[in-house]
Chain A
C-alpha cells in the first residue's frame, strides 16, 4: 500500500474498539447498558471521522450520535422496558444465516470498491474534486463542504430539511407534542 500515513494506525485502533463495542451490544440484554454503549459507539465513530478528514461530519455525529440519539433511546427505554428477553436459539441461527448470506454478498462486491486512501480512484476524481477546484472561483468561501451543501447541492439539502421536518411532525403527531390531551385520549 503506497502513500499510507499515520491515520492508518488510528484506523486499526478505532476498528478494534468499534468491533468490540458492537459485539458487546449484541451480547448484552440490559437495555440501559446497550443504550450507553450505542452512545460510545457513535462517539468513537465521530473520532474516526476526524481521522478520516471529515471534520464537519464528525461535529454532527458527535452532537447527534452521542447526544441526541442517546437521550432519545434512554427516554424510549424508560417509557418501555429495561430488559430485553434473551435471544432464542432459532432466532440466533436464523440471524446468522441471513447475516452470512448478506456478508457473502457484500464481500463479493468488496473487490469493486476503490482502493482505500488512493487519490486516483473514480470516486475521488469525479465531481468531488471538481467542487474543490471550482469553489474558490464560484463561491469563494473556505469550507468546501458548506459550499457544496448549501449551494451546489442546495436542492438536495432542501429535501433533507423537509424530511427532518416530516419526521418532527410525525413524532409530534404520535407523541402529542405539548404533553396535554392525554385524558381525552384515554376517554375513548
Chain B
C-alpha cells in the first residue's frame, strides 16, 4: 500500500489539486470564481496527463537537427512520451476558448440580472415566476 502510493506520489498530489479545484467550483456561488475553480481543475488534469508521459532521464522528444540529417540518432536516447503532449497542447488552447465562452456568458448574466452570485440569481428567477403567477 505504502509502496503503491510512494511510486505514484506525484499523481496523488495532482489528484489533490484536482479536488481543490472541484471544491472551488462547488463551494463558491460567485460565477467568476467558479470559472477560476474550473481552470484550476483543468490545469491539474493537464498536469496528470503530462506526468504520466514523464520518463526519468528523458528530455523533450526533439531530435538534434544534425543527427536527423545524417541519420545518426543515438539508439539509446531517452525521450518523454510525445503523445500526451500533443493531446494537452491542443487541449490548452481549446480550454482558453471555452473559458472565454463561459466568461462571456457570465458577463451577459451580469448585464441582465445585475449580479453574479447564484443564490441571488435564483431568487430573481423565483420572483419573476411568482410575478407571472405560476
Contact = CB atoms under 8 A, between A and B. Distances in A.
Interface of A: 1, 3-5, 7-8, 11, 15, 18-19, 22-23, 25-26, 31, 34-35, 38, 41-42, 45, 48-49, 52-57, 60-61, 64-65, 68-69, 72-73, 75-77, 79-81, 84-85, 87, 91-92, 94-96, 98-99, 102-103, 106-107, 110-111, 113-119, 121, 123-124, 126-129, 131-132, 135-136, 140-145, 148-149, 153, 156-157, 160, 163-164, 167-168, 170-171, 174-175
Interface string B18-38: 111111101111111101110
A92 to B, nearest CB: 6
A60 B97 CA distance: 13
A23 B40 contact: no
Contact of B94 (A45, A52, A57, A160): A160
- How extensive is the interface on chain B, given as a class? 35 or more
Top 6 A-B pairs, shortest CB-CB distance: A167-B97, A53-B80, A84-B30, A128-B83, A128-B81, A95-B27
From DSSP, what is the main secondary structure of chain A's interface residues? helix
Given A53-B55, A107-B15, A157 B90 contact: yes
Interface of B: 4-13, 15-24, 26-33, 35-37, 39-40, 43, 46-47, 50-65, 68, 71, 73, 78-86, 88-101, 103-108, 110, 115-117
Nearest to A85: B117
A143 to B, nearest CB: 5
23 contacts: A53-B61, A54-B88, A55-B62, A60-B89, A60-B92, A64-B93, A73-B36, A76-B106, A79-B110, A84-B117, A106-B15, A110-B8, A116-B11, A116-B54, A119-B55, A124-B55, A136-B63, A136-B73, A144-B79, A160-B93, A171-B101, A174-B105, A174-B107
